[in-house]
């Protein structure tokens, strides 16, 4: 049985991830963690007690972080000290913070997956393959849409898509829109002289982003230290 601790357990995404993990037959959520003063402290989430961040936590086999970039980096430092496998589903890291995560991953396995959607994982593959197959005759671009309260722009998912495309060809531009209650949409355009290829992923509910959490947990447990991405998650070999 895989024992999981979930950071950011009281947030909208954290609650969905907690419920998803609790439904699995091969893992158990042993604790949720939230910032000091959060109303969920000393309550439960999907049957697991919620601790204050900084408290002594129960033993676990893996940590999952769905909080924010700052706390997630702090948790990554603690994970590196103990060799704890870590799944980070937070976004908004600066280049300097990502560089530190890469260094910390030399001490523990870290899966940096700002979007745990299965569809987005496949989109990464398709975007990279399309960039390689279409070549320099097609100019790439990434568009993303999220709800108006989303803090980071571009999204972590859009940045990862752009990186994937750049590895196979040209660095694409990114256009971002924040409006209303949009759950999430990512489009990758490859525009040629006479035609266009468009790859689209649309999330209809936030649960699309939590469904991949159990697979991410199974993936990272037992891995060697290193920084892993969505592409690794959906193509582990």
16 and 66 co-located in one domain: yes
224 is catalytic: no
Whole-prediction pTM value?
Answer: 0.84
201 is catalytic: no
147 and 216 co-located in one domain: no
Q: Given 38, 75, 146, 201, which residue is catalytic?
A: 146
Encoded tokens for 135: 């070549």
* Tally of domains within the chain: 2
Query: What sign does the dihedral 119-219-22-86 (CA atoms) show?
Result: negative
- Residue 136 lies in domain: 118-202
The CATH number of the domain holding residue 143 is 3.30.360.10
85 and 32 co-located in one domain: yes
224 and 111 co-located in one domain: yes
Q: What is the pLDDT of residue 108?
A: 98
128 and 198 co-located in one domain: yes
Q: What is the pLDDT of residue 236?
A: 57
Mean pLDDT of the 132-139 span? 95
pLDDT digits (tens, 9 = 90+) for 196-233: 999 999 999 888 888 889 999 999 999 999 999 877 88
219 and 111 co-located in one domain: yes
97 and 8 co-located in one domain: yes
Are the beta carbons of 199 and 131 closer than 8 angstroms?
no
Are the beta carbons of 77 and 43 closer than 8 angstroms?
no
Alpha helices in 51-117 (DSSP H): 69-82, 95-104
The CATH number of the domain holding residue 65 is 3.40.50.720
Q: What is the pLDDT of residue 142?
A: 98
Strands (E) in 24-138, as ranges, are 27-34, 44-45, 48-52, 62-65, 86-88, 109-112
Top pLDDT among 95 and 75 is at 75
111 and 8 co-located in one domain: yes
Number of H helices, E strands in the chain: 8, 12
pLDDT digits (tens, 9 = 90+) for 95-112: 899 999 999 999 999 999
112 and 126 co-located in one domain: no
Top pLDDT among 114 and 87 is at 87
Mean pLDDT of the 76-87 span? 98
77 and 168 co-located in one domain: no
Alpha helices in 8-117 (DSSP H): 12-22, 69-82, 95-104
> Strand pairing partners for 145?
177, 185
Nearest to 188 by CA among 180, 196, 201, 198: 198
Peptide bond just before 175 cis, omega within 30 deg = no
7 and 76 co-located in one domain: yes
């Amino acid at each position: 049985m895989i024992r999981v601790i979930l950071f950011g357990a009281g947030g909208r995404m954290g609650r969905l991830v907690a419920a998803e993990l609790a439904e699995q037959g091969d893992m158990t959520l042993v604790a949720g963690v939230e910032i000091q003063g959060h109303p969920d402290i000393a309550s439960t989430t999907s049957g697991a007690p919620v601790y204050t961040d900084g408290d002594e936590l129960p033993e676990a086999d893996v940590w999952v972080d769905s909080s924010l970039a700052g706390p997630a980096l702090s948790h990554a430092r603690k994970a590196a000290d103990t060799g704890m496998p870590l799944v980070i589903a937070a976004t908004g890291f600066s280049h300097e913070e990502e560089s530190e995560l890469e260094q910390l991953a030399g001490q523990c396995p870290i899966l940096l997956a700002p979007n745990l959607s299965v569809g987005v994982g496949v989109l990464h593959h398709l975007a990279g393959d399309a960039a390689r197959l279409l070549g320099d005759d097609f100019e790439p671009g990434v568009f993303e849409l999220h709800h108006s309260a989303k803090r980071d722009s571009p999204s972590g998912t859009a940045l990862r898509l752009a990186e994937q495309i750049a590895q196979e060809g040209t660095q694409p531009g990114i256009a971002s829109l924040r409006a209303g209650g949009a759950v999430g949409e990512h489009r990758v355009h490859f525009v040629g002289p006479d035609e266009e290829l468009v790859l689209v992923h649309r999330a209809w509910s936030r649960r699309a982003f939590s469904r991949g959490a159990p697979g991410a947990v199974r993936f990272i447990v037992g891995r060697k230290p290193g920084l892993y991405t969505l592409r690794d998650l959906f193509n582990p070999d």
